[in-house]
DNA sequence: CATGAATGAGTGTTCATTCAT
DNA sequence: TATGAATGAACACTCATTCAT
């Protein structure tokens, strides 16, 4: 009845496009990321994802074997470790180093990254192997790389030895605080907090890195 | 299904227990916390919560009007700000202060507290008002109280002025890192990490608070 | 929670009034009539009837054994044949007779009567024995009584013999039309239609009863 | 449970039939009419309708959005005004006219028609717009058409002017009485009453239409 | 590859009814 | 008598998934 009462309406269904599998897979994973990160796994229906991806439900099952498979493929895809490691420029002063570190860290904390971390927290129990892999393939190497860079700077005298340089990861933890803030606060408030945390973080690093005035600097100027 | 293959298994009918509403409400909220924090809101079925609470589904609806109401009541209940503020003992040395602070912070990071924070992150969009209230009634006051305690210690000379004493909250952020670790890692690994982070945090504070050796102690404003 | 947030509110529960059974039964049947006739049997919940009657659900079961029993008792009560038969005044002219008949018929078509007939139609399948009894105890006797009164009037010459006087029931059928109208149309429209039908009915009877002008009055059997 | 005690009972799985939507819609509407008119809206479960229609519950929701939508579609479909208007044959005598009118009216009072009217009465409050539409699109035009046909017959002298010819609708009201009888009485009794009313109605019209003997007929023979 | 039609198993919720007090 | 608490059975509806085309 409802169909017969309406005039054509047509909806421009674009009639059964036939696309290469990789394209379809990408469409699906994009749509899945959007839905899953907005609503979580259980609350995201296959119907909604399909609609979002612009195809039929059944077609999802042509490209993936189940909802879980989509979820896993999606996480696997988006959690792939970002390769680009910003190498510190040779002639930077410690202050410039801090600034570039902060800017880089917070630049990477995109909404999508936040959504992914959130999803990881939400659904950790569902895909523990992925979480573990993410830890080991992304986080731990990143930490090690960063620490070794710091160590090098210290050994060249660019940085003074402090409590922070020994456990440098802790200096990046406020980033996590920023991320969690983005997850919890509503849009607008989140933006404000983001900047506050970022600048406080920057200040903190600037101060911590500075050798205590009047104190003998770390063995050598 | 697994239950139906077994014989009765005693069936534990225990007749119909009649309990005061507050007791039932507590049973329900406990069960709800367990389920919701393990699976999230959408994936926790009323049937499972009822089973968990040891009563019929229908009885949940005698005490709460809906699944949402249960969720909200549960969060409201458990997020009530913990009042007990550990006042720093008068004659404590800064090192003792740090130790008691660390022990106190990590002592409060119980599995239940982690589960609640996780839930808050997971379902923030469902109950933004509760998140906001939690921020304003629990987090912000706690921060302010802590900062003012630090300020007092600084003014009495118990603590030297450093970058950390100015923005003291940042020194507690590793706690959040510990919490997120608990959310993401499987049980066993989580326990290990917990201790590692805790002790690293403790060391950091000890070092940061210690006046640089050989340097004139904070003799000046 | 909801209870604890509100102040007393008290609601003046009038605290467990203890009333004689007949009073309670009446309260229940009144409430049941209201609900059942408004919503039908299936859509009227025991909870709603109890609320309407100002008592607890459980108390309904003290006075009646089931929802069906309430329904049946209610119909039995309200369908009891109305005894008051308006005897035609001796010296009335045929026109006065018609007027009093019409007024009487339509006066009895109260909203409650309409609701009951409606209910009878709606739930006839549920209580066929009541419908039958109503037919036999109320409708048929009423018809017979009316026909015999008409016959008497005819035999005394007060009414002329016409097609209508032979099957007098048919002359009251427009009343049913009025009743159905009340069931189908919304309040306001129903009121208007009611009057229209009533007056058309009156006119019809006046004309039918009138001997054809110029024709020999019912001079013959 | 009853099914599980029996052996398979063949189970009639017949695999999964794939039918065009219009066919399914019809099956559903037929089944819905049967159930709704037998039990009313509230007492007809979707499960029963689905069983009746020979498909799964879920499939109902593929073709209709809700139980209400089914109900409305069903009424809309069956209440569509029947177009076939029996034109009176040119050379008919008044008596023949009456006979064809009666036969036609009562022929259309099929069980399905009765069920629909009953449903309309039962659930008028649920779909007042449909009731109104039915009145305006079906009943009122039918009345007007009939009256105009009568007027024409009167003007050609085929019918004499009487009280009935002025308000001809009233002469068809006994049909409503027959309909209500069908709703209230059990099958068998209903059949008997149906014929009685029909013939009484026929007689009445025959007599009313006949010019009073000895009286000057309406101006001309 | 793509889809509309189909379904079994489940969802949250309501109900008539019973029980303990 | 009266009731608040409790429940099994049903309810309308949704879901992930499959099948025929």
Whole-number Å distance, CA C11 to C1' E20?
A: 25
- What distance in Å separates the CA atoms of residue B28 and residue B59, rounded to the nearest whole number? 10
Contact at CB, C131 and D201, closer than 8 angstroms = no
Whole-number Å distance, CA A39 to C1' E4?
A: 27
- What distance in Å separates the CA atoms of residue B51 and residue B31, rounded to the nearest whole number? 9
Higher pLDDT, residue C141 or C90:
C141
Task: Say whether the C–D interface has 3 or more Cβ pairs within 8 Å.
Answer: yes
Least Cα separation, residue D179 to chain A (angstroms): 29
Residue B219, pLDDT > 80, answer no
Pull the structure tokens for residue B191. Answer: 């326990």
Domain covering D2-78, topology: Arc Repressor Mutant, subunit A (1.10.10)
Write out residues 41-80 of D within 8 Å (CB-CB) of A. 65, 69, 73, 76-77
Contact of A10 with chain D, judged by CB distance below 8 Å, is answered with no
Nearest residue of C to residue D211 by CA position?
A: C212
- What distance in Å separates the CA atoms of residue A70 and residue D174, rounded to the nearest whole number? 67
Average pLDDT over residues B114-129: 89
* pLDDT grade for D2, boundaries at 50, 70 and 90: very low
Q: Residue C209 is inside which H or E element, if any?
A: helix C187-209
For C12-79, CATH gives 1.10.10.60
* pLDDT grade for C31, boundaries at 50, 70 and 90: very high
The per-residue pLDDT for range A37-87, each reduced to its tens digit, is 989 999 999 999 999 999 999 999 999 999 999 999 999 998 876 655 556
Cα–Cα nearest to C19, from C7, C30, C32, C28: C28
Average pLDDT over residues A158-178: 80
Map residue B221 onto helix, strand or coil.
Answer: coil
Pull the structure tokens for residue A159. Answer: 């940085």
How confident is the model at residue D219, as a pLDDT?
A: 43
How confident is the model at residue D150, as a pLDDT?
A: 81
Higher pLDDT, residue B102 or D204:
B102
How many other β-carbons are positioned within 10 Å of the β-carbon of residue C44? 22
List subunits contacting chain C, requiring 3 or more Cβ pairs under 8 Å. B, D
Contact at CB, B38 and A125, closer than 8 angstroms = yes
Cβ-contact A63, A28 below 8 angstroms:
yes
Cβ-Cβ pairs closer than 8 A, A with B, add up to: 102
**Residue C65, nucleotide of least CA–C1' distance:** E17
Which residue's C-alpha is at the least distance from the C1' of F15?
Answer: A45
Whole-number Å distance, CA B127 to C1' E4?
A: 37
Write out residues 183-202 of C within 8 Å (CB-CB) of B. none
Measured in degrees and rounded to the nearest 5, phi and psi for residue C166 equal -80, -35
* pLDDT grade for D211, boundaries at 50, 70 and 90: low
Q: Would residue D15 be called left, alpha or beta, if left means φ above 0 and alpha means ψ between -120 and 50 degrees?
A: left
Q: Which of B40, B201, B215 sits opposite A122 (nearest CB)?
A: B40
Residue C175, pLDDT > 90, answer yes
Task: Give the up-direction half-sphere exposure of residue B46: CA atoms within 13 A in the CB hemisphere.
Answer: 13
Mean pLDDT of chain A: 82
Chain C residues with CB under 8 Å of D207 CB are 162-163
Pull the structure tokens for residue D168. Answer: 């001809």
Could you tell me the CA-to-CA distances from D163 to A62, D44, D149 in Å, in that order? 76, 45, 16
Contact of B88 with chain C, judged by CB distance below 8 Å, is answered with no
Average pLDDT over residues C62-69: 97
**Residue D1, nucleotide of least CA–C1' distance:** F9
Contact at CB, B135 and A216, closer than 8 angstroms = no
**Residue B18, nucleotide of least CA–C1' distance:** F5
- What distance in Å separates the CA atoms of residue D203 and residue D211, rounded to the nearest whole number? 14
The per-residue pLDDT for range B83-100, each reduced to its tens digit, is 555 565 666 777 888 898
Cα–Cα nearest to B38, from B128, B124, B119, B123: B119
The per-residue pLDDT for range D84-93, each reduced to its tens digit, is 555 666 667 7
A73 touches strand F (CB under 7 A): no
Cβ-Cβ pairs closer than 8 A, A with D, add up to: 6
C62 touches strand F (CB under 7 A): yes
- What distance in Å separates the CA atoms of residue A24 and residue A31, rounded to the nearest whole number? 11
Chain A residues with CB under 8 Å of D66 CB are none
Q: Which of C39, C121, C186 sits opposite D184 (nearest CB)?
A: C121
Cα–Cα nearest to A159, from A101, A117, A200: A101
**Residue A61, nucleotide of least CA–C1' distance:** F17
Average pLDDT over residues C199-221: 65
Whole-number Å distance, CA C26 to C1' E17?
A: 21
The structure's pTM equals 0.85
Contact of A125 with chain B, judged by CB distance below 8 Å, is answered with yes
Contact of D138 with chain A, judged by CB distance below 8 Å, is answered with no
Contact of B17 with chain A, judged by CB distance below 8 Å, is answered with no
Q: Which residue has the tokens 């024409």?
A: D152
How confident is the model at residue A88, as a pLDDT?
A: 59
Which residue's C-alpha is at the least distance from the C1' of F18?
Answer: A58
Average pLDDT over residues A104-108: 92
Q: Would you mind telling me the total number of residues written for chain A in this entry?
A: 221
Chain C residues with CB under 8 Å of D40 CB are 40-42, 122-123
Least Cα separation, residue B6 to chain A (angstroms): 28
Contact at CB, D167 and C216, closer than 8 angstroms = no
- What distance in Å separates the CA atoms of residue B210 and residue B94, rounded to the nearest whole number? 8
Which range is most confident: A88-97, B69-78, C90-99?
B69-78
B178 touches strand F (CB under 7 A): no
Average pLDDT over residues B195-215: 77
**Residue C13, nucleotide of least CA–C1' distance:** F3
Contact at CB, B170 and A174, closer than 8 angstroms = yes
Contact of D26 with chain A, judged by CB distance below 8 Å, is answered with no
Residue D113 contacts by C-beta under 8 Å, 6 or more apart in sequence?
D179
Could you tell me the CA-to-CA distances from D131 to B172, C39, D13, D80 in Å, in that order? 69, 17, 40, 12
Residue D122, pLDDT > 70, answer yes
Contact of A118 with chain B, judged by CB distance below 8 Å, is answered with yes
Nearest residue of C to residue B70 by CA position?
A: C1
How confident is the model at residue B168, as a pLDDT?
A: 77
Residue A188, pLDDT > 50, answer yes
How confident is the model at residue B210, as a pLDDT?
A: 67
How confident is the model at residue A166, as a pLDDT?
A: 73
Least Cα separation, residue C150 to chain D (angstroms): 17
Chain C residues with CB under 8 Å of B65 CB are 2
Average pLDDT over residues D181-209: 89
Domain covering A17-78, topology: Arc Repressor Mutant, subunit A (1.10.10)
Least Cα separation, residue A47 to chain D (angstroms): 13
Least Cα separation, residue A183 to chain D (angstroms): 35
Helix axes D173-184, C111-122, angle to 10 degrees: 60
Residue D5, pLDDT > 70, answer no
Q: Which contacts of B122-130 are long-range, i.e. CB under 8 A and separated by 24 or more positions?
A: B122/A40, B122/A118, B122/A121, B122/A122, B122/B40, B122/B41, B123/B36, B123/B40, B123/B41, B123/B71, B124/A183, B124/A184, B125/A38, B126/B41, B126/B68, B126/B71, B127/B71, B127/B72, B127/B75, B128/A186, B130/B72, B130/B75, B130/B76, B130/B79
Average pLDDT over residues A146-170: 77
How confident is the model at residue B197, as a pLDDT?
A: 92
Proportion of chain C above pLDDT 70, given as a percent: 81
Measured to protein CB atoms, the chain F nucleotides within 7 Å are 1-21
Measured to protein CB atoms, the chain E nucleotides within 7 Å are 1-21
Residue D64, pLDDT > 60, answer yes
């Amino acid at each position: 009845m409802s169909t017969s009462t309406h005039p054509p309406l047509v909806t421009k269904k674009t009639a059964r496009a036939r696309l290469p599998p990789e394209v379809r897979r990408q469409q699906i994973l994009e749509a899945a990321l959007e839905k899953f990160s907005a609503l979580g796994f259980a609350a995201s229906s296959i119907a909604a994802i399909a609609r979002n991806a612009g195809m039929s439900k059944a077609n999802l099952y042509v490209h993936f074997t189940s909802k879980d498979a989509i979820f896993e493929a999606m996480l696997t895809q988006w959690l792939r470790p970002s390769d680009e490691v910003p190498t510190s420029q040779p002639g930077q002063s410690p202050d410039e180093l801090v600034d570039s570190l902060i800017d880089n860290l917070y630049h990477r904390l995109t909404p999508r990254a936040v959504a992914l971390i959130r999803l990881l927290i939400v659904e950790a129990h569902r895909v523990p192997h992925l979480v573990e892999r993410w830890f080991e393939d992304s986080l731990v190497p990143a930490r090690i790389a960063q620490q070794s860079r710091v160590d090098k700077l210290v050994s060249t005298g660019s940085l003074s030895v402090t409590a922070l340089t020994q456990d440098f990861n802790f200096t990046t933890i406020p980033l996590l605080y920023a991320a969690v803030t983005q997850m919890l606060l509503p849009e607008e408030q989140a933006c404000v907090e983001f900047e506050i945390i970022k600048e406080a973080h920057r200040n903190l690093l600037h101060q911590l890195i500075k050798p205590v005035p009047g104190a003998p600097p770390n063995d050598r100027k």
